[in-house]
Structure 1
Amino acid sequence: MTDVVQESAAPANGFRSYLTIWVGQFASMIGSNLTSFALGVYVYQLTDSATTLGIILALGLLPATLASPFAGSLVDRWGTRRTLMISSIGSMLVTLTLAPLVATDSFRVWQVYVIVIVTSLLTSLQIPALGALTPQLVPKEQLGQANGLRMVAIAVSQVLAPVTAGFLLVSIDLTGIIVIDVISYTAAIATLYLVRVPRVRSGATTAGTPATLLREFGEAWRYVAERRGLLTLLFFLASLNFSAGFVELLISPLVLSFTSSEGLGVVLSIGGLGMIIAGVVVSVTGGPSRRVRAVFAFALLFGIATIVGSLRPSIPLVACAAFVAMGALVLINTTHQPIWQTKVDMRLMGRVMALLTMVGLIPQLIANVLAGVAVDQVFEPLVGRDEVRSESLTTLIGDGPGRGIALLMLLVGLLVVVTVAVGSLFGRLRRLEEELPDRAAPAVDEEPTSGDGVEEPIGDERPVTDSATSAR
């Protein structure tokens, strides 16, 4: 027997509708990253405290991580379009509260903490809603392109924001950047209002209490756990995210150990360029058709690039490695997302996307903590802080300060290679695309012709039968 999973058929003009929403979300991402960077600079100038910035970074990630189970359930209850509207409007209102505080010089650090926490909670709604919205609008043949466009937006906004925000802080101050952010949120809200998004019936019959939302999230976990290919893919991605968390934290101190901040800017810019190019390539080509094998290949590329970047204290070498590694991470993301978007019951899509968010954030947070401790307490004392004590290590990773960081990076790259080798041994994962069928498309209620932007229910969403075990 095979798994028969209900699919909501994408509307005929779905990709065009997705592009409309993408434009609004792209503008919103740029505005949000501008504000985030400028706010960090403003707070540091106000407090002269790196610890405060660290707390703000943690508060930006932890609430979103902890709220993900509840957020995923709410996405499936409310619908993707409505959830994105709530997230965008809420984020715009939170951003607006900054303007009078800055303009009247009544800005306090505790207020930033509150704003960052609320924004993080709203982001926990936005991420799974965007992931779940894509297969509602886009035919499965174009899911690779859609996910590529999403990664282009993320990469471009992350690369442009620091440079642009630095210029804008001098010319229009933080208040002007806040105005730009509010305008970008307005664009996102307008595009959501204009576009019709098919609505999947969630089947929820009880009030959305915290306990109920957790139980509903548990249903998504059981859905994945019963399908061994998806479960193995989930653990594989968790391992990759753990390794990526080390690289994310270590790349800056590694480069700064042998060059200036300008050199670090070059390396990070080239890495960002790799992300953008990878996203553009996928958005044009749609990505590989054999996605599981491609995920293995791109993960192996990421591991090898991480190893190569650790071998010598050289800006050209590390920059090339960053280009390949960051591009490979984008290719992994744009390749594995369509697997979930074509295999998972639409009724559970928001919750499964939230589960993927948790699998992305939790291992990275753990790695961020462990990386600093490992460098300071183990690898730098072991290797030598100013010069490498061992000739064999000098041959392997070069000499000079920061080579303890390089040794840890090398081991992280090897861990990725081992992860790929072990993952490829699991037949359920290798054969996931063949053994677990895509969703079968049901009959769809005819949409009204009025362009009111209202979400329409699709079909009758039913749980997958427990008897369908052979494809798990």
Structure 2
Amino acid sequence: MQRGLRSFIIIWIGQFASLFGSALTRFAITVWIYQKTGSATALTTGGFFAMAPTFLLLPIGGALADRLDRKKVMIAADLTGGLCTVFMLSLYLNGNLQIWHIYLTNVILSAVEAFQYPAFTAATAMIVPKEHFARVSGMRDLAGNASRIFAPLLAGALLAILDLSQFMIIDLITLSIALLTLTMVAIPKPTQTEESKRAQANLLQDVTYGFKFIWKRPSLVILQSILLTLNFLYTMGNMLIPAMILSRTNNNELILGSVQAVMSAGALAGGLLISIWGGSKRKIKTVLMAQVLTAIVGRVWFGLGYDTLSWLLPSFFVFFFIPISNGSTAAIWLAKTPPDVQGRVFATRRFAAQFCLPLSALLAGPLAERVFEPAMMPGGALASLFGNVLHTGVGAGISLMMLLSGIIGAAVSLLVYVIPLVWRVDEILPDHIAEPSSLIPEKTVDSDVGVKAPEGAASPAD
């Protein structure tokens, strides 16, 4: 096994441990909020606070990732996340934990991710050879999605015997494991390229550099615009899935955990597939195929469900194709961007594809509770049109939102096949050949890699 891949696997083991603990705690907090409030808006508001700071700070985080020691940036990010967990734990043990405390913690963690994400992503190109970029991206997705297979099922069962504080303690233990694996890995710092030398400036100019880099490449601009549209549509449904299932199953946490576990199993299978396969030679072909199938086989089919049996099979495909798309998208960007400016460019790339997510999360709850849910109650404005397919009553309006997002998403994805600038992006933009750590003598290697990559496949498209 090449040394770069071996180093990445060590990090991957730590990520899996930490993300598993985080997934347990996140599930327990989601149930705690819904049982305390009974409100879909309360859940989606939490999602807004968990996303908005990330996208506001991403350009700054990317600029600093190219200026500072990336390893130290990610250690600081993980330690800050641990302190947030300790903060909530102390409040809960004293009987003082409130919803707004969780919102505040989400804001801090979201801000931290704006620095952690570009630092980790930029470090990846310095660990592994170019031919493994798509596979490594798939492995990063596996770190998050393997935890989602078992965590919802386990958390749903453990909620009968454990309280929220015990989930938080597990989260802190698994974070310690991830930090330990960091000490076992070293990678080189990137060699400064001509592209980077031309971009050298003050911090403000560094922040805008990523936008300029992408704007000069119309193929990437259009690709990110498409992903932005799809992310806006799909985030609404993703934020409302727990509320839909809990409302239609009389707050049955085990059913929610089972459906989420099947979704995560699909994401895991998709991540495993792209890790082994690596995608087609023309990566954009894999990206667009995966997005079309996500819309039709995943979103539309799942939206048609109305009970446990009708959710389980389609739920597997809700996230199955996402890591396939994300892995191939990451391979395109890693190949086209010089390593020493990847922090800035990748931060801007994520901002360009996902900056609408906080708005989508903020709108999801009110749209569900004030528009779609009333319209799908017996006698509602849309009940006669969709009631025979989706049934009526609580949760039916959210099902309709999921169905419509899939139909529109399929239309947007199919349009791409007639846009040559996107369809031929692999040929239009030249590759930048990076020198991976596996090809560099050991004595030149410097420790510069982080832990706990951002969660992948169940996350929005990159």
Structure-2-length-normalised TM-score: 0.82
Deviation (angstroms), 1:398: 4.8
1:197 is matched with: 187
Alpha carbons of structure 1 residues 41 and 173: separation in structure 2 relative to 1, 3 Å: same
1:217 is matched with: 207
Given that residues 397 and 407 in structure 1 are in contact (C-alpha distance below 8 angstroms), is that contact kept between their aligned partners in structure 2? Answer: no
Matches of 1:102 and 1:164 in 2, distance apart? 21
Given that residues 59 and 120 in structure 1 are in contact (C-alpha distance below 8 angstroms), is that contact kept between their aligned partners in structure 2? Answer: yes
> Could you tell me which amino acid in structure 2 is paired with residue 219 of structure 1?
Y
Matches of 2:407 and 2:22 in 1, distance apart? 35
> Could you tell me which amino acid in structure 2 is paired with residue 345 of structure 1?
P
2:271 maps to 1:279: yes
Deviation (angstroms), 1:244: 1.2
Alpha carbons of structure 1 residues 241 and 57: separation in structure 2 relative to 1, 3 Å: closer
Q: What is the Cα-based RMSD across aligned positions, in Å?
A: 3.6
Given that residues 77 and 204 in structure 1 are in contact (C-alpha distance below 8 angstroms), is that contact kept between their aligned partners in structure 2? Answer: no
Given that residues 99 and 178 in structure 1 are in contact (C-alpha distance below 8 angstroms), is that contact kept between their aligned partners in structure 2? Answer: yes
Q: How does 1:46-61 map to 2 (within 5 A)?
A: 50=39, 55-61=45-51
1:463 is matched with: none
> 1:136 is paired with a residue of what secondary structure?
coil
Matches of 1:141 and 1:330 in 2, distance apart? 17
1:300 is matched with: 292
Q: How does 1:120-269 map to 2 (within 5 A)?
A: 120-166=110-156, 173-200=163-190, 212-252=202-242, 254-255=244-245, 259-260=249-250, 261=252, 263-269=255-261
Matches of 1:111 and 1:441 in 2, distance apart? 44
Matches of 1:165 and 1:350 in 2, distance apart? 35
**Of residues 443, 446, 458 in structure 2, which corresponds to 1:449?**
443
Deviation (angstroms), 1:447: 4.7
Structure-1-length-normalised TM-score: 0.80
Matches of 1:333 and 1:370 in 2, distance apart? 25
Matches of 1:396 and 1:43 in 2, distance apart? 32
2:408 maps to 1:415: yes
Q: Structure 1 residues 110-119 or 339-348, which shifts more?
A: 110-119
> 1:199 is paired with a residue of what secondary structure?
coil
Alpha carbons of structure 1 residues 204 and 43: separation in structure 2 relative to 1, 3 Å: farther
2:356 is matched with: 363
Gaps of 5+ in 1: 1-10, 457-472
2:109 is matched with: 119
**Of residues 432, 440, 448 in structure 1, which corresponds to 2:433?**
440
How many equivalent residue pairs? 440
Structure with greater Cα Rg: 1
> Could you tell me which amino acid in structure 1 is paired with residue 427 of structure 2?
E
Matches of 2:415 and 2:119 in 1, distance apart? 32
Matches of 2:383 and 2:182 in 1, distance apart? 61
Given that residues 14 and 180 in structure 2 are in contact (C-alpha distance below 8 angstroms), is that contact kept between their aligned partners in structure 1? Answer: yes
**Of residues 277, 281, 284 in structure 2, which corresponds to 1:289?**
281
Alpha carbons of structure 1 residues 311 and 119: separation in structure 2 relative to 1, 3 Å: closer
Q: Structure 1 residues 197-206 or 159-168, which shifts more?
A: 197-206
Matches of 1:392 and 1:433 in 2, distance apart? 47
Alpha carbons of structure 1 residues 214 and 40: separation in structure 2 relative to 1, 3 Å: farther
1:337 is matched with: 330
Given that residues 234 and 356 in structure 1 are in contact (C-alpha distance below 8 angstroms), is that contact kept between their aligned partners in structure 2? Answer: yes
> Could you tell me which amino acid in structure 1 is paired with residue 66 of structure 2?
D
Matches of 1:233 and 1:308 in 2, distance apart? 25
Q: Structure 1 residues 415-424 or 308-317, which shifts more?
A: 308-317
Deviation (angstroms), 1:405: 4.0
2:17 is matched with: 27
Given that residues 169 and 177 in structure 1 are in contact (C-alpha distance below 8 angstroms), is that contact kept between their aligned partners in structure 2? Answer: no
Q: Structure 1 residues 411-420 or 397-406, which shifts more?
A: 397-406
Alpha carbons of structure 1 residues 34 and 17: separation in structure 2 relative to 1, 3 Å: same
Deviation (angstroms), 1:386: 1.6
Deviation (angstroms), 1:226: 0.5
> 2:228 is paired with a residue of what secondary structure?
helix
Amino-acid identity (%): 28
Given that residues 278 and 327 in structure 1 are in contact (C-alpha distance below 8 angstroms), is that contact kept between their aligned partners in structure 2? Answer: yes
Alpha carbons of structure 1 residues 70 and 166: separation in structure 2 relative to 1, 3 Å: same
Gaps of 5+ in 2: 450-462
